[in-house]
Structure 1
Amino acid sequence: MAWDEWEQIKADTAAHQSASTRLNQLAPAAEGGGAGKPDMASSPAAKKAAAKAINDDLEPGITRDGKHAAETTSAAVKAFGAKDGHGWDTSGALKRAHETWEKQVKTLLGRLSSEKQALSATGISMQNNELDIAARLARQSRIQGI
């Protein structure tokens, strides 16, 4: 490969990276950004609809599915549990994994509840909401340390 070709490849890559990594700016209007179109929850009606979706769909679904998972996991723990003094190690491992999972579901429901409340409040600015969400996402997950 000639030196000129190498320099051209580096220049093309640098141009592509600088164009695709400008995350703190709106996309040009031609690309669908900054064209004055409201985002999903930037209007009061959209915020209300998002809060309603959390209340009517997400929270009940997570609660229902969590109960189903708890029932099936409990059945599996019992099936693998000690009978006549003998049992599988899988039983205890499933129980511990489920306890961790239940904590994560409770945390998720708490986050959904706080997001629902934030969406329902009309005086909250989108910038403060985004900063709060970014701070929450920046926290390290407890499961990563396992």
Structure 2
Amino acid sequence: MRLNGTGSLSGPQAPGGSGTFASTPAEKAAAANTIENELEDKTKTSTEHADETTNSTIKGFDGWDTAAGLKKVAETWDKQVAVLMGRLGAEKIALRGATGQFVRNDIGLGDQFRPIGRSGLHGV
């Protein structure tokens, strides 16, 4: 029997994957901080600016069908922004939580292997 290849020695990969772990705890923290300090703030500021401009335009078209249409668009926009802000918040929390989860998993696995080293066979 002949084996044509063994594939990657680092284990299975997703299509297009590099085979390396995605990020370090520091990189996860930096990404969460970017979401909190840049993306959430800039999204909120941009939304407030768009709301002010849209509300001013709606007033300018008061009594016209255009005002009603703009109001409907503004309501849809606000709902979409709320979903986006929720998603950003969830991603930020997930990034911060993932770091602790990986550390707890590593410690737990290490604890499972420690009794092996304390057996009577240690040093044999």
Superposed pair shares fold, TM > 0.5: yes
Deviation at 1:43, TM superposition (A): 1.3
Deviation at 1:24, TM superposition (A): 3.9
List alignment gaps of at least 5 residues for structure 2.
1-12, 103-124
Q: What SS does structure 2 have at the residue aligned with 1:97?
A: helix
Give RMSD over aligned pairs.
Answer: 1.8
Q: Which residue of 1 aligns with 2:55?
A: 74
Q: Which residue of 2 aligns with 1:110?
A: 86
List structure 1 runs of 4+ shifted beyond 3 angstroms. none
Q: What SS does structure 1 have at the residue aligned with 2:15?
A: coil
Q: Which residue of 2 aligns with 1:57?
A: 38
List alignment gaps of at least 5 residues for structure 1.
1-22, 28-32, 83-87, 126-146
2: CA distance, partners of 1:75 / 1:124: 48
Task: Say how many residue pairs are matched.
Answer: 89
Q: Structure 1 length as normaliser, TM-score?
A: 0.56
* 1:93 partner amino acid: G
Identity value in percent: 44
* 2:42 partner amino acid: G
Name which of 65, 72, 94 aligns with 1:96: 72
* 2:37 partner amino acid: D
2: CA distance, partners of 1:101 / 1:112: 16
Aligned residues of 1:118 and 1:124 also touching (Cα < 8 A): no
2: CA distance, partners of 1:116 / 1:108: 12
2: CA distance, partners of 1:80 / 1:124: 54
**Does residue 1:46 correspond to 2:36, yes or no?**
no
2: CA distance, partners of 1:124 / 1:67: 36
Larger Rg: 2
Q: Which residue of 1 aligns with 2:9?
A: none
1: CA distance, partners of 2:68 / 2:29: 44
Deviation at 1:124, TM superposition (A): 4.5
